[in-house]
């Protein structure tokens, strides 16, 4: 399982890439593998205000339905429409074409995990 070093993570298995005050968010390869074949995704709508830790969407697989939690505070400024039509991208390219949504940050996130911390978390769950 890959844990890209340039990203930050949450204990709910989202990844976060922050560039110029905008966070790109997706679910990790660990989460995608645990979910299995992803058949549906419902990200938050553009212009929605999200709060770190709050549910803001869902991902459905052949195994279960899982909530998507916002890892940051801010306003949704973009949604990956491609994954709505091709949800399998979340499983095949979770850190690339499988990103879910982007948030303009209203404050710097404080509770994100480093790649090392996330690796320790997932090794403890495995």
What pLDDT, in 10s, does the model give residues 58-71?
Answer: 999 999 999 999 99
**pLDDT tens string 7-42:** 999 999 999 999 999 999 999 999 999 999 999 999
Q: With 70 as the cut, is the pLDDT of residue 1 above it?
A: no
Question: What is the rounded average pLDDT of the residues 110-115?
Answer: 93
Question: What is the rounded average pLDDT of the residues 97-114?
Answer: 95
Question: What is the strand order of the sheet 101-105 is part of?
Answer: 8-9, 14-19, 22-27, 101-105, 74-79, 49-50
Question: What is the rounded average pLDDT of the residues 38-50?
Answer: 97
Nearest to 74 by CA among 56, 95, 96, 97: 56
Answer CATH for 8-109 from 2.70.170.10, 2.40.50.100, 1.20.1530.20, 2.30.40.10? 2.40.50.100
**Calpha distance 93→20 (Å, rounded):** 23
pLDDT tier at 124 (50, 70, 90 boundaries)?
A: confident
Residue 13 has a pLDDT of: 95
Percentage of residues of the chain with pLDDT beyond 90: 92
Looking at every residue in the chain, the average pLDDT score rounds to 95
Residue 2 has a pLDDT of: 84
DSSP state for residue 110 in the 8-state scheme: -
- φ, ψ dihedrals at 120, nearest 5°: -60, -40
| Helix intervals (H) in 1-97 | 29-35, 81-85, 89-92
Are the CB atoms for 84 and 41 separated by under 8 Å?
Answer: yes
């Amino acid at each position: 399982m890959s844990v890209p070093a340039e990203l930050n993570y949450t204990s709910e298995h989202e990844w976060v890439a922050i560039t110029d005050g905008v966070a790109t968010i997706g679910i990790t390869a660990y989460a995608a593998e645990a979910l299995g074949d992803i058949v549906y995704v419902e990200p938050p709508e553009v212009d929605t205000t999200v709060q770190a830790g709050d549910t803001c969407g869902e991902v459905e697989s052949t195994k279960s339905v899982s909530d998507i939690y916002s890892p940051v505070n801010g306003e949704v400024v973009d949604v990956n429409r491609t994954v709505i039509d091709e949800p399998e991208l979340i499983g095949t390219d979770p850190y690339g074409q499988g990103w879910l949504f982007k948030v303009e940050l209203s404050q710097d996130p404080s509770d994100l995990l480093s790649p090392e911390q996330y690796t320790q978390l997932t090794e403890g769950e495995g």
